[in-house]
Structure 1
């Protein structure tokens, strides 16, 4: 192939990518708008739109209001052209979700299934994944991959769990799952997956600290629009910050870790009931005892947020299982207690609350393959 031919192919690929990426960002647009904003010729844009439509990547869906001439077609990507599967592995269950190219969760499910580091466990989980795909009638070629978020710090190559004291899954390897699945597979720490989802939803944030308020507490740090991993992959493990050296015993072997005060498990233990019942009684019955338990929880959370904010001057994102239960009054309470003894005030506008609840790590994991696909077009 001549150098000129190679150049022409490269230019066509670049133009195709530019047009698709533009439509993806705008969500809905017109041919003329693409021509104007990308400063491309009408024939070039038309050719790329035709090719993208033929490939099934974009579609016309209605018309824009007329401005005096012929109505322009409304153009958008086909958001379910490809699907990514996300799995959130927990000690006694796992979450499963399918997301489209915009990261919208099309389906979610929770499957009670205690973890055990045995071939039978991995075989049964992957059978459930294949059953989930079949039940939702996804063609095999639509599946980008299966991404697994687990409670455990992974190796830099995401092939192995290096630290998994919660589930006793230290040594879990990606191949435990991938050998049974006909799709690409990926393994990630659940906190990092959650942070990826929050970053996806808040692309305007350059930096942030994520508090993953799941059954076990987790955390992550976002810097320069990237999730900070650290030299040993344990950046953001705020759950093991000691807030009371004489406090309760943590699964890590130390006492008084934030995990023992601010995980959903710790809140359930303090309340003596499950989370759903706790918040139902807290909000509806105004129980003084439950109100005090919740205030104690928020006080410990604020203490940690205040100290972390002194080290990382960035917004805070409350994410995970407990996030949907937070009200404006709770954020105001947190802000007040963060600022009461801090030399640098944190505005409540700098505290964001996630909306995907317990499925946050699974959805965030699924976005790994979505992100790859979008940037490869």
Structure 2
């Protein structure tokens, strides 16, 4: 093959991807708009649209309102052309989430099975995954891959867990899943996966600290538009910031870690009731004890936010299981508590609250396969 042929093939690939990316970014568009904005010839655009439609990547459905001439046909990508699945593993359950090419969760499910580092447990996840795909009618050839978000720090090569004190899953291997699941698999830290989702939802963010308010607390750091991993993969483990050296013992063996004050488990232990009961009772405003518990919770969280914001001058993101329970009044209280203890105020625009709740790590982990697809040549 000569150099001219190689150049022609490369140019065709570039044009195809450019047209697809334009449609993807604009959600809905028209042929003439693509021609105009990409400064690409009409015949080139038409050819690429035909190829993309034939391959199932885009669809042409309906028409835009007329502006005086012939109605323009609506062109959009097919969001479910490919999907990815995330599995979020917790101590007493695991979450399943299917994500389309726009990063939207199109199916979610919780399976109440206690974690166990055993063949039966891993077989059960593989079986539950296939049942989940069947119930939602997903063609297997559409599956880009399955990401496992775990409460444990994976090795740099992603092949095993280096530190897993919560689940006692140190040395859990990617192969425990990949030998049973017939799709590409990857192993991810749940907090880093959550940060990936928040970055996806807020692509304008350059730097941020993420507080994952799950059953067990987690954290992550975003720098230069990327989730920071660190030399030994434990960057952002905010849960082990010491709040009180004489405080409760943490699962890590130390005392007074933020985990013991601001995890969902810690909140439930203080309130002596499940989270789903705590917040309605709190909002009713009839129990001073619950108000005190919540105020103490926010005080400890604000202390950690202040510390994190002094180290990294950027956004602060509240994410995970407890995030959907946060109201505007809670955000104002957090800001007041941070500002009272810091020489540098944290403004409202810097405090963001996630919306995906307990499924955040599973969705964020799945997004890694979506990102790879969007960067590929299809």
Q: TM-score, normalised by structure 2?
A: 0.99
Q: CA deviation at 1:144?
A: 0.7
Q: CA deviation at 1:47?
A: 0.6
**1:34 paired residue number:** 34
**1:335 paired residue number:** 335
Paired positions, count = 377
CA RMSD, 1 decimal: 0.7
Q: CA deviation at 1:239?
A: 0.2
Task: State how far apart, in whole Å, the 2-side matches of 1:205 and 1:228 are.
Answer: 13
**1:286 paired residue number:** 286
Task: State how far apart, in whole Å, the 1-side matches of 2:124 and 2:345 are.
Answer: 50
After TM superposition, list the pairs within 5 Å mapping 1:168-207 onto structure 2: 168-207=168-207
After TM superposition, list the pairs within 5 Å mapping 1:222-233 onto structure 2: 222-233=222-233
After TM superposition, list the pairs within 5 Å mapping 1:51-130 onto structure 2: 51-130=51-130
**1:236 paired residue number:** 236
Task: State how far apart, in whole Å, the 1-side matches of 2:84 and 2:206 are.
Answer: 26
After TM superposition, list the pairs within 5 Å mapping 1:365-376 onto structure 2: 365-376=365-376
Q: TM-score, normalised by structure 1?
A: 0.99
CA deviation map 1:313-352 (0-9, x unaligned): 0010100000000000000000000001211111012100
Question: Where in structure 2 are there 5+ consecutive unaligned residues?
Answer: none
Given that residues 153 and 162 in structure 2 are in contact (C-alpha distance below 8 angstroms), is that contact kept between their aligned partners in structure 1?
yes
Given that residues 285 and 291 in structure 2 are in contact (C-alpha distance below 8 angstroms), is that contact kept between their aligned partners in structure 1?
no
Q: CA deviation at 1:43?
A: 0.8
Q: CA deviation at 1:286?
A: 3.2
Task: State how far apart, in whole Å, the 1-side matches of 2:255 and 2:98 are.
Answer: 39
Task: State how far apart, in whole Å, the 1-side matches of 2:294 and 2:279 are.
Answer: 9
Task: State how far apart, in whole Å, the 2-side matches of 1:289 and 1:62 are.
Answer: 57
CA deviation map 1:96-151 (0-9, x unaligned): 01111111111111101111111111011111111111221211101111111000
After TM superposition, list the pairs within 5 Å mapping 1:254-265 onto structure 2: 254-265=254-265
Is 1:8 equivalent to 2:8 in the alignment?
yes
Is 1:359 equivalent to 2:359 in the alignment?
yes
CA deviation map 1:32-68 (0-9, x unaligned): 1111111111111111011000100001122112121
Task: State how far apart, in whole Å, the 2-side matches of 1:2 and 1:375 are.
Answer: 27
Q: CA deviation at 1:285?
A: 4.2
Q: CA deviation at 1:24?
A: 0.6
Task: State how far apart, in whole Å, the 1-side matches of 2:280 and 2:357 are.
Answer: 16
Task: State how far apart, in whole Å, the 2-side matches of 1:254 and 1:341 are.
Answer: 25
Q: CA deviation at 1:368?
A: 1.0
Q: CA deviation at 1:83?
A: 1.2
Runs of 4+ in 1 over 6 A off after TM superposition: none
Task: State how far apart, in whole Å, the 1-side matches of 2:341 and 2:142 are.
Answer: 53
Task: State how far apart, in whole Å, the 2-side matches of 1:110 and 1:369 are.
Answer: 21
